[in-house]
Structure 1
Amino acid sequence: MDEQDKACFGEGTVARGDRKQKRKAQHRCRQTTDRCRTRKPNGSVAAQYCGISSPSHRDVTPLIRLKGNSDLYGVTVKMQLTSNSQRQAGLAALLVNLALEGRAGGRSYPGLRERALNQAFAEQLHAPMRQRLLSVDDAGARLYSVAVALRPVFEAPDETTAAKTLNDLMLRYGARPYLVEDVGQPFHLHFHGDGETDVEALAGEFAVSLALLMDTFGTRRFGICHAKECDRAYVDVTRNGSKLYCSEACAARMKMAEYRARSNRNR
């Protein structure tokens, strides 16, 4: 029991099932509210008796790191803007990978066109946007054009090039912020672009989402798969920013290649 638990409970240990001791502990906690509320979310008995739920790791958006004392209770760590931006950035990479020909997982990939591209990409969207996208007659051709425009962002050799490309895309698609209330979600920011169809609206969103990633992490959170014989784009939303491959299949393939190389050297 550490010092802050002692402040709530005194020197003795409080049994979880002892209601009388529990009420006493709660009374002491009300007298030391400030200290109880500044406890770190470590699931301690003190936090439970204070009626403060320790946040689950699943509730903390991986890419958010607040400056200062982010462990204070009452600070909302999960930000819908960042969560939505991560999803949109991932969809940008997906569109590039679906549309453009090249190498994928060591094999030749022809890319999708027209209706096949529209259907494959629309399956990844929420129902309202999916229906709107499928209703656009030439959505496949427009999506392919957006994929071609986005690909240089992932291929950029340096941050200056990536920034210039993203600035051009945000200007081209007229990305603008506005608040949206989706079903089951509170109001949150979107950055749909201006254009003839919903494809251009999504393009503006994709450009801003990648720009937000770059604003926080530089270009190390997106790029081209590091596996041999693969040129698919990826977006990294892991906690430690360690992703180098477009898929688990490519990661496993490269680990196996490294293992075989080590085995051959040891012979």
Structure 2
Amino acid sequence: MLFAPDTEEALAFAVALANTAAGASRSGDDELATVADLARLLETCKFSGRIDRDEAEVREVRQTREQIREVWTLGRDEAVPVVNRMLREARALPYLTRHDGSDWHIHATEQDAPLAERIRVEAALALIDVIRMNETGRLRVCAADDCVGVFVDLSRNGSKRFCSVRCGNRMNMVAFRARRTEA
């Protein structure tokens, strides 16, 4: 599946943010509990514009994380009102911009808007592309029994089942041991 580069970047950031939730993170704990946790996330996934670096911002980003996790599990038609609400609440006005070495891409909030609002709008813009292309089936929750991580399946045939190689290997080992026990 091929989306525009800014769509893929926004989806990747949405996945990284969503997978900081307890149960979805590598540690199993909430990995977005502190200002330092948010700073680490923003180091790995660059986000331009205003960053306040305070507890209020962390709370707002955590609320955004829950909205993204919710929309990830919805079907195409059910996702539309949620995405529209995300854009409407931010009073999003799309415009083209170039910055930080990126070519022309779309933003819909000002750079001085709160971080959580900019994250929500960037995710919503990416989700618009996914919905318009009828590819919401590529927004998935990990198939591992003990994982609630999310991912975007960008593979050609759309057959990815796990959020990470670690989850895939773990489930393959479980299946292997079950087969051995049956034999």
Q: For the superposition of Structure 1 and Structure 2, which TM-score range results when normalised by the shorter chain?
A: 0.7 to 0.9
Q: CA deviation at 1:227?
A: 0.7
> Runs of 5+ in structure 2 lacking a partner?
none
Q: What is the aligned counterpart of 1:198 among 93, 110, 115?
A: 115
After superposition, give the CA deviation of every residue in 1:149-199 in whole Å (9 maximum; x if it has no partner).
Answer: 21111122x322222222222222233321111243432223447984133
After superposition, give the CA deviation of every residue in 1:201-254 in whole Å (9 maximum; x if it has no partner).
Answer: 221011111221122133211121111100111122222222221111111111
TM norm structure 2: 0.84
User: Alignment RMSD, CA only?
Assistant: 2.5
Q: Is 1:85 paired with 2:41?
A: no
After superposition, give the CA deviation of every residue in 1:58-103 in whole Å (9 maximum; x if it has no partner).
Answer: xxxx515xxxxxxxxxxxxxxxxx11101101111211211x2225
TM norm structure 1: 0.60
- Number of aligned residues: 182
The 4+ residue runs of structure 1 with deviation greater than 4 A are 193-196
Structure 1 pair 190–254 and aligned structure 2 pair: CA distance change class (3 A): same
Contact 1:236–1:243 (Cα < 8 Å) also in 2: yes
d(CA) in 2 for partners of 1:180 and 1:90? 20
d(CA) in 2 for partners of 1:94 and 1:240? 23
Q: CA deviation at 1:147?
A: 0.7
Contact 2:73–2:139 (Cα < 8 Å) also in 1: no
Contact 1:96–1:150 (Cα < 8 Å) also in 2: yes
Please tell me whether Structure 1 or Structure 2 has the larger radius of gyration of its CA atoms: 1
d(CA) in 1 for partners of 2:138 and 2:109? 22
Q: Which amino acid aligns with 2:43?
A: E
d(CA) in 2 for partners of 1:194 and 1:164? 25
Q: Which amino acid aligns with 1:221?
A: R
